[in-house]
Structure 1
Amino acid sequence: MADPSTSPPLTRASVQEALKLIEPYIHKTPVLTNTMLSKLASTPRTPAELEGTPWAGRTPAKPVIRLWFKCENFQRIGAFKIRGAFHAIERLKREPAWTDNGGREKGLVTHSSGNHAQALALAARENNIPAYIVMPTISAAPKIAATKGYGAHVIFSGSTSVEREAAAAKVIQATGARLVPPYDHPDIMLGQGTLGLELQDQVSSALASSSPYSSLAPASQLHAGLNAIIAPCGGGGMLSGVALSCEATGIRVFGAEPSYEGADDCTRGYYAGKRIESVKSLTIADGLRTPVGVYPWSVIYERRLVSGMYSVSETQIAAALRLVYERCKLVVEPSAVVGLAVALYNEDFRAMVEKEAGDEGWDLGVVFSGGNVSLEALGKLFSS
């Protein structure tokens, strides 16, 4: 990576500049709506549905939520990660030391469970740069196959971030390759944040022309834009980038995580006031098993550009995933639906929307982060 001290400032303007750099290499992914899911999000849950949850005994929330899905499952390599990978390389190519010291020939290295692995492999191939990718042995088979298919050298490691980083360090020592981290770098964050800019513009255009939610929204809302965006959080590169893209727009940003085995590290750290540095979880949302990074944390928590963090259970993630498959007919991975699961099932989030939005409700952008999923894993998930 380029030295972080040489990166552009972490601002909305820098995200806009990043989009100009990477537009030739990425897809402008579609934004879709689903009236049934919006009605479901706007329907109070029954007291029986809250039994056995942290909200048992509470009066169910009654928010009005109109959902807008940013479908990064249609992005190149099937996930948003390609945005950060191309931006990182484009920035690196502008660093004199990279060219002068034979950086292109030495190559690039990263560690990733799959989506960043594929992204860097493809971006490196299109720039004729060797890529060394450290992947956990438990990575989904399609993600491993795709990474190899893009021409990268795959090195396997344990599943924790500590094990991945140790394996990447060995590769760097042996090859002199430059590390492109999966999330903890300003250039990655700015690249990922470009999806937030697109989402804002796409929803504003849709509302200005003819709203698909005309029957659900008050007249005062039909020509507005997004009120908020909710995005999944693993290392936090995309969540922090989206937050930067919304800086000073009035659009609020929220993060979503799985709660299983402590994968909700950013949620816990956010409300405790201290970043949690390690995570060891085998949540089904495999793209969210990493701790939030230092640079993303500075945006998410220290600058308070993220308004809140929320988590959901494995059962709730699976339920949201089933709804997307059955009702939207979209192929997404479990990590992609964590934000939707929060909107549907987390009563703290739903009660907050009810309080903040009132009868007018919110137009809520939901980031579907990717669609790289093993059919075998899906079969096991839905077999019971």
Structure 2
Amino acid sequence: MHEHAAPADAATVFAGPSLAEFEAAREVVSRAADPTPMESSRYLAEVLGHPVSLKCENLQRTGSYKIRGAYNRMARLSDEERARGVVAASAGNHAQGVAFAARELGIKATIFMPVGVALPKLQATRAYGAEVVLSGHTVDQPLRAAAEFAASTGAVLIPPFDHYDVVMGQGTLGLEILDQVPDVATIVVPIGGGGLIAGIASAVKQRAAAEGKRIKVIGVQAENAAPYPLSLERGEPVDIEITPTIADGIAVSKPGALNFEIVRQAVDDVVTVDDDEIAKALLVLIERAKLVVEPAGAVGVAAILSGKIDATGPTVAVLSGGNIDPLMLERIVSHGLAASERYLKLRIPLPDRPGQLARTAEIVAEQNANVVEVLHTRHGGGLQISQVELELHIETRGPEHAERVLAALRSAGYSPRSV
């Protein structure tokens, strides 16, 4: 964790936009972005010990907050710049935000995306009217291709987070939060490059200081892609090596320079969550809040559920986006069920004689658990000639129920092992 004193002086000047600029951007952004709902969560309030509200940017046009910064940046282009068109590189939400904003403003957009980009994101970006160029297999390669395209054609490069106008646009979300939850004391925000939290923290802290209030802003990064804690510790943006994470929307290896300066001044704490915690949060949002949220958008809820948020009073968690491939959602829900010990995967060596499969299924049924998949093989490693191996996928109601199923199988003489 990283913690430092948050500014409380109304005279504090951050590296980014002024409160007046955020207010002006709000008028501009309202032409393209909708005010999104604020939903209260009794379940999360019980976990945290304070009222919790969910800021639903997953329900925003294009499915994420990115439209705010992209539109604000592009609305400020001159006629001559608009005539040259815009270019961006993204594997997801930024691409859709730029494409949508370009369509609204009548600007030609070219978006570079990696070859393996999820089909729904590719289709949505094209549907908004952008020309999509597939380039490379990581986000770095489209970024280089977009920069080269801008240099050779004169198109204006629209950065995803590290730009004054982008930060200004994202900060309009902070003003919305203050209007919807006037007594908010803590705001929890996902962090990738830092554009969203820089905008929210700057706008919120400036408004709060002017009104004599104190509001805590806490950032959350995915454990496998968390350059901010180390960067804040060293006092400068640090480039780290990221490892795979389901929260690909915030998998950024280095903070933006402008973003970092604002975060350093205005953000109270930065915490990290792992993929299991994110998967559990996604499951809670589906089951308890009836909200579909992408992994990057669920990290704030993950931090609340895992006890990593030191909140003071009413708390708002920003759900930054909802653009998730249904196939990925299926995998993450299964992972979340397993991480919550509601989905057991067992391997059981059995004597190779009739009735053994029926007997194990009967034991599971007696414990009111549900077998959803069965694999029966004679070819498992370490099996004796007279044995077979049974793989059972079982739905349970949680850790205690899962343990009862295992205990029942063991007491019947079987040796189940979780996989």
Q: What TM-score does the superposition give when structure 2 sets the normalisation length?
A: 0.72
The 5-angstrom pairing of residues 270-281 of structure 1 reads: 270-281=232-243
1:15–1:191 contact (8 Å) kept in structure 2: yes
Aligned residues: 314
**Distance in 2, Cα, partners of 1:324 & 1:178:** 38
**Distance in 2, Cα, partners of 1:159 & 1:201:** 42
Aligned residue among 45, 56, 73 for 2:58? 73
Aligned residue among 177, 188, 210 for 2:155? 177
**Distance in 1, Cα, partners of 2:156 & 2:37:** 33
1:81–1:116 contact (8 Å) kept in structure 2: yes
**Distance in 1, Cα, partners of 2:98 & 2:306:** 34
1:12–1:247 contact (8 Å) kept in structure 2: no
Offset at 1:155?
1.8
The answer to whether residue 220 in structure 2 is matched with residue 235 in structure 1 is no
Residue 58 of structure 1 corresponds to: none
SS at match of 1:266: helix
Residue 261 of structure 2 corresponds to: 298
**Distance in 2, Cα, partners of 1:17 & 1:36:** 36
Give the counterpart letter for 1:38 in structure 2.
A
- % identical equivalent positions: 37
Offset at 1:346?
4.1
**Distance in 2, Cα, partners of 1:364 & 1:198:** 14
The answer to whether residue 133 in structure 2 is matched with residue 133 in structure 1 is no
The 5-angstrom pairing of residues 187-202 of structure 1 reads: 187-202=165-180
Query: Does the C-alpha gap of structure 1 residues 28 and 126 become closer, same or farther in structure 2, counting only changes over 3 Å?
Result: same
What per-residue deviation string (whole Å, max 9, x for no partner) do you get for residues 201-241 of structure 1? 1012xxxxxxxxxxxxxxxxxxxx00010100001100100
Structure 1 unaligned segments of length 5 or more: list them. 1-7, 43-63, 93-97, 205-224
The answer to whether residue 223 in structure 2 is matched with residue 259 in structure 1 is yes
**Distance in 1, Cα, partners of 2:162 & 2:153:** 22
Residue 13 of structure 1 corresponds to: 20
- Runs of 4+ displaced beyond 4 Å: none
Offset at 1:113?
1.8
SS at match of 1:383: helix
**Distance in 2, Cα, partners of 1:380 & 1:180:** 32
Query: Does the C-alpha gap of structure 1 residues 136 and 280 become closer, same or farther in structure 2, counting only changes over 3 Å?
Result: farther
Offset at 1:300?
0.3
The alignment yields a C-alpha RMSD, in angstroms, of 1.7
Give the counterpart letter for 1:325 in structure 2.
I
**Distance in 1, Cα, partners of 2:24 & 2:16:** 11
1:132–1:171 contact (8 Å) kept in structure 2: no
**Distance in 1, Cα, partners of 2:143 & 2:44:** 40
Mean CA deviation greater in 235-244 or 268-277:
268-277
1:312–1:346 contact (8 Å) kept in structure 2: no
Offset at 1:174?
3.4
Q: What TM-score does the superposition give when structure 1 sets the normalisation length?
A: 0.78
Residue 340 of structure 1 corresponds to: 301
2:192–2:250 contact (8 Å) kept in structure 1: yes
Residue 111 of structure 1 corresponds to: 89
SS at match of 1:339: helix
Give the counterpart letter for 2:150 in structure 1.
I
Structure 2 unaligned segments of length 5 or more: list them. 1-14, 209-213, 336-419
Give the counterpart letter for 1:134 in structure 2.
F
Aligned residue among 274, 279, 292 for 1:318? 279
What per-residue deviation string (whole Å, max 9, x for no partner) do you get for residues 136-166 of structure 1? 2333221111001111111223455542321
| Rg (Cα) greater in structure | 2
Give the counterpart letter for 1:26 in structure 2.
A
SS at match of 2:21: helix
Give the counterpart letter for 1:119 in structure 2.
G
The answer to whether residue 247 in structure 2 is matched with residue 285 in structure 1 is yes
**Distance in 2, Cα, partners of 1:158 & 1:65:** 46
User: Between Structure 1 and Structure 2, which shows a larger proportion of helix residues?
Assistant: 1
SS at match of 1:89: helix
